[in-house]
Amino acid sequence: MSWLSIVGIGEDGLAGLGDAAMAAISGAEIVFGGARHLELAAPAITGEARPWLSPFSESIDAVVALRGRKVCVLASGDPFHHGVGVTLARQIDASQMQVFPHPSSFSLAAARLGWPLQDVLSLSLHGRPLDLIRPHLHAGARILALTSDEHGPAALAGLLTEAGFGISIVTVLEALGGPSERVRSHVAMSFAIADINPLNICAISVVALPDARILPLTPGRDDALFEHDGQITKREVRALTLSALAPRRGETLWDIGAGSGSVGIEWMLADPSLRAIAIEANSERAGRITRNAAACGVPDLKLVIGTAPDALSGLEAPHAVFIGGGGSDPGVLDAAIAALRPGGRLVANAVTLELEAVLLERHVRLGGHLTRIAISRADAVGSMTGWRPAMPITQWAWTKP
């Protein structure tokens, strides 16, 4: 039996609600919501109005503690699209809820612009790093990005300009659905919209300049996209390595001896649900990993500064592990194998004879697949051109039973 009602409410307040949603508000003993929501719904509230607490988690606990009583939660737009409904559903079964969604900001923005929502990327940057937009910056893309406050649109325009998309059109849609609704557009590189309502969503029509920093959709991205000191898994080998790691939704990767972080970054770029932990002993390289992760739009990559195997202690168990080419300590390999979840994949690339010997021994003992990777690139030989081979790599790929 449902005891909790979650009502989505827009800037038009009670006028935009149906009879059932109105009854849920007026029939509740306790109504939770933000100050703005409670003000909009005030004429219908007959019970106790409780504004959200800080930290927000305390309010969620308060809602759960009232299980069995008539409780209503007010939410912005669609409660299950980047909304409070998602948080509540982690602790309250759907059978105990009645949900009354209102059009989300994304739906309202698409309607105002005439954009087909199924062809538009919808991204919430509310309380999240703006860098998350970077993987989606491709010529011709249409993006709807929910911002945190009145400063978000200008910051987005600055990011677009810095990344080579300065002639993209940024449309700021403010207080959609209410009496203060406003829609204004500007070119990113000369963005000058002022007095922006904190409740806004940005629509971006992406236009790429010739020097735009576009992140291709497939692994094996250009090495030049990563800041590095030469300690990087080169693009061709990286593509083969990601293929062997075979990322699947919701999985976590350990990138041991991460160098520039390129493997962990490309792992995360494969799908938003993927997570990666980069383990790197060198503090300068660790700094590069952090900068590369932000510049490639995966700022949530976790960095552990330390030397394996000691640095692996206490980390979330991985679904996949990558070990780069330098180390030869068999203890690192043993620790990674022990930590790997059943069915997880381990990929190790050896450029030294010492590590190659370790991998050959593990292959004999545990099985898996050995691959020899040899890459040659055309380069100048005097006044002509010839093939210049890179150091060959022995790759061992193994799946834990």
Model confidence pLDDT, tens digit, residues 336-370: 999 999 999 999 999 999 999 999 999 999 999 99
* Residue 82, pLDDT score: 87
Mean pLDDT score of the chain:
96
pLDDT tens-digit readout, 187-226: 999 999 999 999 999 999 999 999 999 999 999 999 999 9
What confidence tens digit (pLDDT) does each residue in 292-328 have?
Answer: 999 999 999 999 999 999 999 999 999 999 998 656 6
Cα–Cα distance for residue pair 70/227, rounded to 1 Å: 56
Task: Check residue 330 and give its pLDDT.
Answer: 86
Q: What is the pLDDT of residues 56-76, one digit of tens each?
A: 999 999 999 999 999 999 999
Q: Identity (one letter) of the amino acid at 244?
A: A
Give the predicted TM-score (pTM) of the model. 0.93
Q: How far apart are CA 316 and CA 82, in angstroms?
A: 26
Residue 325: per-residue pLDDT: 61
Return the CATH architecture of domain 223-399: 3-Layer(aba) Sandwich (3.40)
- Ranges of beta strands (E only) in 135-248 are 142-146, 169-174, 182-187, 200-205
Pick the CATH number of 4-102 from 1.10.8.60, 1.10.10.60, 1.10.3210.10, 3.40.1010.10: 3.40.1010.10
| Measured distance CA(398)–CA(346) in Å, rounded | 5
Across residues 254-275, what is the average pLDDT?
97
Q: What is the pLDDT of residues 115-170, one digit of tens each?
A: 999 999 999 999 999 999 999 999 999 999 999 999 999 999 999 999 999 999 99
Each domain of the chain, given as residue ranges in start order, spans: 4-102, 106-205, 223-399
**C-alpha–C-alpha distance, residues 71 and 27, integer Å:** 9
* Domain covering 106-205 assigned CATH 3.30.950.10 in the classification: yes
In 3-state terms, what secondary structure has residue 66? coil
- pLDDT tens across 32-52, in order? 999 999 999 999 999 999 999
pLDDT band (50, 70, 90) for residue 387: very high
Contacts of 158 (CB under 8 A, 6+ apart): 191
Please, are residues 277 and 316 in contact by the beta-carbon 8 Å criterion? yes
φ, ψ of residue 16 to 5 degrees: the values are -90, 5
Q: What is the pLDDT of residue 324?
A: 87
Residue 178 has pLDDT above 90, yes or no: yes
